[in-house]
Copies of this chain bind each other. A is one copy, B any other.
């Protein structure tokens, strides 16, 4: 394998590209590439058999890196700490990162255990839901148009590697959901049976809605069941990522109980 190449100019085309990807949350869609910062995300990607196109290290990052990270790809680059800071979206820039070609967008799997996101706005919420979905054994997340970009830097960060454990499809319309062959469940604050008394089907598709407006009525109408989360404190609603965690865990627990 060749020696890593030293880059010293902030005008280098690679660094320009990384800057764009770290600063513009939607740039990944045009570029077809994602900039993965830090050991944790890069490791999660390698663990799923993926390979970066370029690996970027600071000197310290290079000396701290595990061998698997150093030899992850042929094209390896060394930059100064300040150049790394310039392409970082983190408060404390990482010592390494991977540039990765996004695979071709997969088609939704009609039979998979699924989470549907209906126009969720907050990147932290979306990332947290991806993380819960992966942890609870769901296979795919389908994001309707208007949802925060699944591969945007903030969602990637909040997802903590969950992206690589899931089939992710975004930019979908309601019609794209019609082929789903698994029962669709929506949460409601005021209708349906209580989650903790429900027998939950598996696989299923949980639908999570916009932070303010919830699930749009046309989508609610497509669902086979409405389920509500008990809220004895009488507050008006839970954060959507908290509600998702509760629902996805209930599905995982229902699967586990018969064992």
Contacts and interface: CB of A to CB of B under 8 A. Distances in A.
Given A158-B239, A160-B239, 14 more contacts: A124-B124, A132-B238, A134-B233, A135-B233, A160-B236, A160-B237, A162-B235, A165-B233, A194-B256, A230-B249, A230-B256, A241-B241, A242-B244, A242-B245
Contacts of A158: 239
Interface string A223-234: 000000111111
Interface in A120-134: 124, 127-128, 131-134
A137 B241 CA distance: 19
B135 A231 contact: yes
Contacts of A162: 235
B235 A131 contact: yes
Number of this chain's copies in the assembly equals 2
The range of chain A's interface size is 35 or more
A136 B245 contact: no
Highest count of chain B CB atoms <10 Å: which of A231, A236, A245: A245
